[in-house]
């Protein structure tokens, strides 16, 4: 019977089943241990990366409960397929790529929801909620508003670069696009953000 690792099970595994090992190993070392069936390494990797992976999932699916379910699926895949990690990217980049694939697949299955429209090309209606912009109290609020007005493609690049600290090549690996495409999207996203934030500042002043 296949071993099933859920988010609860990872945290709850009895420590006596594995020899005591430090959890300061590199991500790559943890993956190698997981490939050998080391549950302590699985728990360590989960503890280290669950927060950024969950945040990335939630940004895509806009649903906390669904993001929780997908988080478990991501780490279940890691448990089952750790041996397939080829080391061509960092472990964190690999995890985000797995998470993105699962999130997009999940959204495509939810035909009764409008998430697929948001993921394809969500554009803010310029007439939508103007009072929110006019009443913006600080740059952080204006920036958050501007981010919501970006397309999914542009928002994903900004999220990965500025919130996950990924390089252009790492973003390309997560999104499955050429580095040149990442640079182009980042250029246009920055320009749109600057225009939106400045416009909000002018309206608030």
- Over residues 150-204, the pLDDT tens digits come to 888 888 888 888 778 888 898 889 888 898 999 888 888 888 877 776 665 555 5
Q: Are residues 202 and 156 in the same domain?
A: yes
Q: Is the pLDDT of residue 120 over 80?
A: no
Choose one of 120, 147, 172: the last residue of a domain.
120
pLDDT value for 139: 54
Structural domains of the chain, count: 2
CA distances from 140 to 136, 160, 193, 201 (A): 9, 18, 12, 11
Choose one of 120, 145, 176: the last residue of a domain.
120
* 82: containing domain: 1-120
> CB atoms < 10 A from the CB of 13, how many?
15
**pLDDT band at 5, cuts 50/70/90?**
low
Residue 53 backbone class (left: φ over 0; alpha: ψ -120 to 50; beta: rest): alpha
pLDDT value for 3: 42
Is residue 116 within 8 Å of 110, Cβ to Cβ?
yes
Q: Are residues 151 and 193 in the same domain?
A: yes
Q: Are residues 62 and 28 in the same domain?
A: yes
CATH of the domain at 141: 1.10.10.10
Give per-residue pLDDT as tens, 77-89. Answer: 999 999 999 888 8
CA–CA gap between residue 145 and residue 75 (Å, rounded): 32
Q: Are residues 146 and 88 in the same domain?
A: no
């Amino acid at each position: 019977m296949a071993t099933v690792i859920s988010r609860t099970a990872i945290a709850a595994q009895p420590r006596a089943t594995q020899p005591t090992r430090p959890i300061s190993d590199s991500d790559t070392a943890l993956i190698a241990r997981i490939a050998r069936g080391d549950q302590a390494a699985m728990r360590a990797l989960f503890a280290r990366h669950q927060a950024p992976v969950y945040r990335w999932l939630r940004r895509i699916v806009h649903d906390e409960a669904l993001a929780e379910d997908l988080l478990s699926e991501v780490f279940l895949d890691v448990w089952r397929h750790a041996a397939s990690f080829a080391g061509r990217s960092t472990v964190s980049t690999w995890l985000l790529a797995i998470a993105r694939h699962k999130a997009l697949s999940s959204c495509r299955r939810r035909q009764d929801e409008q998430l697929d429209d948001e993921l394809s090309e969500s554009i803010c209606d310029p007439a939508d909620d103007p009072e929110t912009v006019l009443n913006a109290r600080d740059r952080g609020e204006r920036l958050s508003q501007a981010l919501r007005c970006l397309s999914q493609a542009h928002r994903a690049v900004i999220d990965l670069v500025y919130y996950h600290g990924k390089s252009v090549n790492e973003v390309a690996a997560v999104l499955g696009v050429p580095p040149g495409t990442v640079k182009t999207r980042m250029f246009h996203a920055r320009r749109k953000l600057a225009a939106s934030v400045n416009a909000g500042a002018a309206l608030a002043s």
